[in-house]
C-alpha cells in the first residue's frame, strides 16, 4: 500500500478505530478523524501527531445523518486528492432486554449499526473509483453470522453490513477499490465494559495490530482473531433448538 492520500477513520473515537489509527500514525501519513465529540477528537488528534502522523484533520459530524456523507467525503477528496484507506467503525451496542419493548429503538439501532455504515461505505466507493482506488475497511462482527436471542437486533444489523460488503466487494473487483469486511469477536472495549463477556475475549491493542495487517493485505473477509472463524463455523451449523436452549 502506498502512503499517498489520506487515511480516514469514521467514528475515530471508538476504541478500535483509535487504536488502529495509532498503529498507522507511525507511517507518517495524513489522517482525518470523523466523529461527534470535538473534544475527544482533538485529544485523539494530539496523540496521533505525537506518534508520528504527518497531519491530523478533525471533522465533527453525526454519522447517523446520511444526507451529509456525500459532501463530507467529496470535501476530503478535494483536499487530499484521494483517500488511500478508510476505516468505517461506527456502531452502538444496545440493551436488548429493553429493545423487546421499544420498536423505535430497534429501528434507531439498526440505522446506526447498518444503514449509516452502508451509506458511508457506498459513498466512499463511488468517490474512490475515479481517484485511483483505495481500501475500505468495514467493522462488522461475528455477531452477524447468526441471530442470537441475546443480541437479536445487533446481529441483524451486522448481518446486513456483512452481506452488503460481500456484494459490493464482488461488484468492485478489478477496479482498484478493495472492501475488507472485518469481523471482530469479543474485544475488550468501553462498549463491552460492564457486560458479561466470553473468556476468549481479546484486548483492543491486539485486535488493532491484527486489523492493521489485514488492511495492508488483499484478504476479503477476516475474523479477528483468527480462531473465531472455526468457532462461528460451528455456531452457524448448530440446530436452532440447541442454540435456543443454550442461552447463546
pLDDT (tens digit, 9 = 90+) per residue, 27-40? 999 999 999 999 99
34 neighbors 62 (Cβ within 8 angstroms): no
7, 9, 154, 223: the catalytic one is 154
Average pLDDT over every residue of 167-180? 97
Active site residue 154: yes
Look up the pTM and report it. Answer: 0.92
> What local confidence, expressed as pLDDT, does residue 2 receive?
42
Percent of the chain with pLDDT over 70: 94
Q: What is the CATH number of domain 6-246?
A: 3.40.50.720
Domain boundaries, the chain: 6-246
pLDDT in tens, 183-219: 999 897 666 555 555 567 789 999 999 999 999 998 9
pLDDT confidence of 14, banded at 50, 70, 90?
Answer: very high
Amino acid at each position: 500500500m502506498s502512503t499517498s492520500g489520506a487515511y480516514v477513520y469514521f467514528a475515530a473515537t471508538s476504541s478500535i478505530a483509535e487504536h488502529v489509527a495509532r498503529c498507522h500514525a507511525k507511517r507518517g501519513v495524513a489522517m482525518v478523524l470523523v466523529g461527534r465529540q470535538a473534544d475527544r477528537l482533538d485529544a485523539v488528534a494530539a496523540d496521533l501527531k505525537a506518534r508520528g502522523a504527518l497531519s491530523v484533520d478533525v471533522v465533527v459530524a453525526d454519522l447517523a445523518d446520511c444526507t451529509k456523507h456525500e459532501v463530507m467525503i467529496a470535501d476530503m477528496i478535494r483536499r487530499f486528492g484521494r483517500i488511500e484507506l478508510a476505516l468505517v467503525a461506527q456502531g452502538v451496542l444496545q440493551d436488548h432486554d429493553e429493545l423487546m419493548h421499544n420498536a423505535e429503538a430497534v429501528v434507531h439501532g439498526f440505522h446506526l449499526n447498518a444503514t449509516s455504515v452502508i451509506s458511508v461505505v457506498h459513498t466512499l466507493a463511488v468517490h474512490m473509483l475515479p481517484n485511483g482506488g483505495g481500501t475500505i475497511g468495514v467493522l462488522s462482527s461475528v455477531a452477524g453470522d447468526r441471530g442470537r436471542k441475546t443480541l437479536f437486533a445487533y446481529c441483524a444489523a451486522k448481518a446486513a453490513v456483512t452481506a452488503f460488503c460481500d456484494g459490493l466487494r464482488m461488484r468492485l473487483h478489478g477496479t482498484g477499490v478493495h472492501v475488507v469486511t472485518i469481523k471482530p469477536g469479543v474485544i475488550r472495549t468501553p462498549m463491552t465494559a460492564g457486560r458479561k463477556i466470553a473468556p476468549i475475549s481479546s484486548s483492543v491493542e491486539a485486535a488493532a495490530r491484527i486489523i492493521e495487517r489485514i488492511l495492508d493485505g488483499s484478504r476479503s473477509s477476516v475474523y479477528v482473531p483468527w480462531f473465531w472463524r472455526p468457532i462461528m463455523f460451528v455456531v452457524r451449523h448448530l440446530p436452532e433448538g440447541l442454540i435456543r436452549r443454550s442461552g447463546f
